[in-house]
Structure 1
């Protein structure tokens, strides 16, 4: 329990997972607004689009206000002659006034449960602020080369920040090629 809650009643929160198709327009709008708040306006519509179409983890307070969010969507990675189904974690954020209270950990735990049950491994592109949370959950920085299989074929990405992975038995001697998408590939 965080020190600020020792000796006090822990605030009541609820964790819910749901597919994008099962969220109402109001719930999606609240999650999108949370991204703008948490990322201080540096979260594009393209970034938001990357987090749709999969399973969302949402933490609400007792009054129903959204406090934290994350999603996991399916992507494909080619690695060492194999095509792997990847749970790609996106749009992880906690309201700034509720950070460091374990809410991000709740979101990650729920998303990792989805990854473990449905995918070969998890992949994410960490923000500097989020990296500590991911490391605490066992995510590791990929040490090998990265690239994408895009419209022009295989494209190496030597200047790309390394993604983090969770699970899977990958060999960093071989390139991690992720499927192409508009905007940030990783």
Structure 2
């Protein structure tokens, strides 16, 4: 069963199960990572009463050229190890992608393992430099170069240009 709901509509048990799933999927998943998945829409896949897949879409602002882009940012895409290769990740992405029409662009940071999924769904790798708008100004995020993907929407994009993320705790991308 697939469920689409805002963070505020999820029960404490569903939120706890989602956090546990994400902590199991990502070795470095921490409180800041968890908080970055909240405040938007979540797609959840259950098998019986067990949560086996999660993704969320949160609002962010990205700077590109002379524009501030209203961005739907995908967070926390994970499928329980025992349920992978069954189309669950594709179903999760289809749900969040359907919501991207409300944004100028979609964006996400992809793990090496996740890149084939995103590329197969039409996400495009950002080839240009990435940065973050930090409290001390714009700082390059070289470690994230090549890992950022965008889903073009209404805004024109130069994939070789600079892309700057708004500031937040934890991983900026």
TM-score (norm. length: structure 2): 0.93
Q: Does 1:47 align with 2:30?
A: no
Of 60, 65, 74, which residue of structure 2 is paired with 1:89? Answer: 74
Of 126, 131, 140, which residue of structure 2 is paired with 1:142? Answer: 126
| Residue-pair matches, total | 170
Q: Which runs of 5+ in 2 are unaligned?
A: none
Q: Which runs of 5+ in 1 are unaligned?
A: 1-13
Of 137, 143, 148, which residue of structure 2 is paired with 1:153? Answer: 137
- Equivalence map 1:104-183=2 (5 Å): 104-115=89-100, 117-162=101-146, 163-168=148-153, 169-183=156-170
Provide the rounded CA distance (Å) in 2 between the counterparts of 1:70 and 1:54. 10
Q: Which has the larger radius of gyration?
A: 1
Dislocated runs of 4+, deviation >3 Å = none
Match of 2:83 in 1: 98
Provide the rounded CA distance (Å) in 1 between the counterparts of 2:104 and 2:96. 14
Provide the rounded CA distance (Å) in 1 between the counterparts of 2:20 and 2:160. 40
SS in 2 for 1:33: helix
Aligned-pair Cα RMSD in Å = 1.3
Match of 2:13 in 1: 26
Provide the rounded CA distance (Å) in 2 between the counterparts of 1:49 and 1:124. 16
Shift of 1:46: 1.3
1:99–1:153 distance in 2 versus 1, CA, 3 Å = same
Shift of 1:173: 4.5
